[in-house]
Structure 1
Amino acid sequence: MSITLSGQDKSTLRTAAYGAVSLMAAAGVATADSTTVPGAAAGQDRPELQKTIEEMVDSGFVGVSLRVHDERGEWVGSAGAAELGGTAKPPINGHVRIGSNTKTFTATLVLQLVAEGKVGLDVPAADYLPEFGLDRRITVRMLLQHTSGVFNFSGEVYDDGTVVPGIPIPYGTTGQEWVDNRFKSYRPQELVELALSKPARFEPGTGWSYSNTNYVVARLLIEKVTGRTYAEEMQRLILGPLGLSGTVVPDASPEIPEPHAHAYYRYEDAGEQKTVDITRQNPSWISTSGDMISTTQDLHTFISALLGGRLLPAPLLAEMCTPHPTGIPNMDYGLGVFVLTTDDGGTVISHNGAAVGHAALMYSTPDGRKTLTAALNCVDDADLSIAAAFQNAQQRLLNEVFGGGQADPAQPTD
């Protein structure tokens, strides 16, 4: 999640608060079961990268893990701690809630079904899901592109500052309600029905607005046309073929596999500030717009394989990466990916994600040959206090690895 704190600061921050979720992490190295970081991975050969993640910790994060694959090979480093007050670093190739990186997995799955002839990109979504009464102008492409105009079930902030809440979320409130109900289960149908009970943000296809609802509708579409669960299809088409053994589709389970770093949330209770460990939480409130768990190694494998042409036919991969304007400078959106323009005119394909005290970054060149994946852990709060540090951290990493660019200045994640 990246949030600009200049120009439209407060509006953007509120939008991200309703369209997103914040941060935390775990990490990875070349072998999933390794317990010792080799010299090259420990930062000795890339001191600028090690310095960057150490400065990220100094700016307010509990811990950071970074993985870079480029012309110099693989580099992995970590800094900070896996737990508040602890001394152990974030675990090697640990698990992290990846937030809206889930959207890239979901979009890929839908496009694979397009390749199989089961779904049409420009077919009305209502043809597949007639039971919801969706506007027939909304196509499958619009869902993946965030151009459907459908209300965001986690809430909307309009240009005039008007806030229309959705389900209780960790941001923009005192946070107490979310903490007290963080193990509540939501059915995906429930989230979609709530969204459709609210006015659309705009006419289908006439604007762009990040809405988690689009990707929950996509989940239901996947399940309807295949007759299998989202998790089963994800295993069949992506996790199994790529060997992503560290990646989990949790549905409503609050568990996260070991090893992992810890996520925290700070809120006010009766005038007193409290900080609680919220590593265990029921992610069904965000569903397949942001519920998956993975590792930096698996994220690298996934984005490299995707952009390298191993998951989609070339025409569909080109559709996925075709930029659609978002209104944000140097940052467009394809189908489940952000398309960033660097300062020197280059292109970076990206999605970031956050899930309350956990966050994951995923960047790649369009050919999948140079990637950056990272995991972060922090103390999150209702005011997204970590947002400025997060934006700065993203910019630093982009500068170091890709030679500059926009750090997704208003990219919501969950």
Structure 2
Amino acid sequence: MALRTIRAALWATVMTAALAGALPAPASAQAAPSGRAGGHERAQAALDAAVGKGVPGALARVQDGGGPWVGAAGAAEMDTDRKPRAGERFRAGSVGKSFVATVVLQLEAEGRLDSDDTVEKWLPGLVRGNGNDGSKITVRQLLNHTSGIYSYTADPAVHLGGMAFLKHRYDTWKPEQLVRIAMAHRPYFPPGSDWTYSNTNYTLAAMVVERVTGRPYESEARQRIIKPLGLRSTFLPGADSKVPGPAGRGYTGFADDPELKAHDVTEFNPSVYWANGDLISTTGDLDRFYSALLRGVLLPPAQMKEMTTTRPIGTSGYVGAGLGLVTYRTSCGTELWGHNGSVPGTEVAALSTRDGSHRIVTHFSTDVFLTTPATADIIDAEFC
């Protein structure tokens, strides 16, 4: 697809882009006919339609009773003819929150922490000031986004909301710096009284992991999840700005860009999303992870019950939040479990039926379309 076509499409929707998060206001997906006829033709058509709306490259992996299926559309790099391919790495954004929650709940199963422990117990003095009080916030409330803590990614100081991102894309951040930014703001609400998505919650949860274990969060995730499951293309990059090949490119647009360009943002320092959105993976690895998680391979029954106990967060699209897992409702009423994620240049969704028998992972090479029905259309095409 020509650069000018992508540029126009990106600009058309850039005002509604959500650069730093996941679980946006639920998309109003178009109704899909009931019953899926034969193969995955409708899913492929939805991928093609996403490219027609301006997504540079779209990729999906489906696993059901008929075995794996991979569909692709568009180009892995603009102004080339190379399609996205299975096995290519991409930034998975907030899908990484499921990894954090899994590690925390594994530690609980081992008796090393309790999800009802306060944040103050493990991180004394860190969550304090401007109405924030870590002694009144539990680890569970971090994991299900009921802590009320401000999301640091909404503060202009981290340069995620416009062209300033390009100037600061290689800045290195420490978790403590990110938490301090959040502490400069009053909480959204008293702990436990409401729900609001906040990336700060998972920065803190990963810091709790480090305090409990005495090891980097990355090491715990690698030893507990990535290596045992054989996720050979999945890793947590620290401050490394590159996405190692094989990989496509990622693109975004900025509302304050006078030239209305589609910017290649494949490389940036992901420490600004430490532990809450820095995961790099593939469709195949994410499919394997969620299959194992939902089948009870990674957590014992008590912790799986905790993880899958949800509270309502919407009426369509993403409708319920557990601990590092969310529930999604298709237009035909099918309930799915998993997570979505977006950081500059990428949008990902990984969803499955509760029994793990029918799963999908989608990837767009832009985050500008986060609030459009494009991803929802693909999910509906597969599950309705």
Give TM class, smaller chain.
0.7 to 0.9
State the secondary structure of the residue aligned to 2:263: strand
Q: CA deviation at 1:60?
A: 1.1
1:276 shift after superposition = 3.0
> How far apart in 2 are the matches of 1:400 and 1:266?
28
- Alpha carbons 2:23, 2:340 under 8 Å: kept: no
Question: What SS is found at the alignment partner of 1:272?
Answer: coil
Q: Which residue does the alignment assign to 2:163?
A: 176
Question: Contact between 2:342 and 2:370, CA under 8 Å: does it hold in 1?
Answer: no
Q: How far apart in 2 are the matches of 1:51 and 1:218?
A: 40
Q: SS at the partner of 1:335? A: coil
Query: In the alignment, is the contact (CA less than 8 A) between 2:19 and 2:342 conserved in 1?
Result: no
The separation in 1 between residues aligned to 2:256 and 2:183, in whole angstroms, is 33
Specify every segment of 5 or more residues in structure 1 that has no aligned partner in the other structure, as ranges: 1-9, 23-43, 156-164, 404-414
Task: Specify the SS of the correspondent of 1:98.
Answer: strand
Aligned AA (1:291): D
Deviation at 1:271, TM superposition (A): 3.6
Alignment partner of 1:47 out of 38, 41, 52: 41
SS in 1 for 2:158: coil
Tell me what 1:86 maps to.
Answer: 80
Instruction: Name which of 284, 287, 298 aligns with 2:274.
Output: 287
Question: How far, CA to CA, are the matches of 2:107 and 2:253 in structure 1?
Answer: 41
Q: Does 1:145 align with 2:152?
A: no
Where does residue 361 of structure 2 map in the other structure?
A: 373
For 2:375, the equivalent position in structure 1 comes to 394
Q: Tell me by how many angstroms 1:265 deviates.
A: 2.9
Ranges in structure 2 where 5+ consecutive residues have no aligned partner: 1-12, 25-37
Per the alignment, residue 3 of structure 2 pairs with none
State the Cα deviation string for residues 284-337 of structure 1 (Å, max 9, x = none).
Answer: 112111011000000000000000010000121121111112254460100011
Q: Does 1:229 align with 2:216?
A: yes
Name the structure 2 match of 1:34. none
Structure 1 residue 113 corresponds to structure 2 residue 107: yes
Contact preservation (8 Å) 1:268, 1:274? no
After TM superposition, give the deviation of residue 395 of structure 1 in Å.
2.0
Q: Verify the 8 A CA contact 1:19 1:152 in the aligned structure 2.
A: no
* Structure 2 counterpart of 1:408: none
The counterpart of 1:353, out of the listed 336, 341, 346, is: 341
**Residues 270, 235 of structure 1: CA spacing in aligned structure 2 closer, same or farther, 3 A cutoff?**
closer
User: Alpha carbon RMSD of aligned pairs, Å?
Assistant: 2.3
Give, in angstroms, the shift of residue 20 of structure 1.
4.8
1:94 touches 1:259 (CA, 8 Å); kept in 2? yes
Residue 32 of structure 1 is matched in structure 2 by none
CA distance in 2, matches of 1:268, 1:320: 37
Q: Which moved more, 1:270-279 or 1:63-72?
A: 270-279
Shift of 1:346: 3.9
- 2:112–2:212 contact (8 Å) kept in structure 1: yes
SS at match of 1:289: coil
Counterpart code for 1:105: F
Q: Give the 3 Å change call, closer, same or farther, for CA 270–115 of structure 1 in structure 2.
A: closer
Shift of 1:181: 0.6
Tell me what 1:406 maps to.
none
Query: In structure 2, do the counterparts of structure 1 residues 317 and 269 end up closer, same or farther at CA, with 3 Å as the change threshold?
Result: closer
Structure-2 separation of matches of 1:89 and 1:303: 25
Distance 1:71 1:52 in 2: 21
* Structure 1 residue 193, shift from structure 2 partner: 1.3
SS in 1 for 2:238: coil
> Helix, strand or coil for the counterpart of 2:62?
strand
328 and 189 in structure 1: CA distance in 2 versus 1, 3 angstrom threshold = farther
Q: Is the 8 A contact 2:249 2:266 kept in 1?
A: yes
For 2:324, the aligned partner's letter is G
CA 1:17–1:80 in structure 2 vs 1: closer, same or farther (change >3 Å)? closer
Residue number in structure 2 paired with 1:38: none
Q: Which amino acid aligns with 1:400?
A: A
Aligned residue type for 1:355: V
Find the residue that maps to 1:186 and give its secondary structure.
coil
Question: Matched residues, percent identical?
Answer: 37
User: Partners in 1 of 2:331 and 2:314 — Cα distance?
Assistant: 17
Cα distance 1:97–1:400, how it changes in 2: closer, same or farther (>3 A)? same
User: 3-state SS of the aligned residue for 2:134?
Assistant: coil
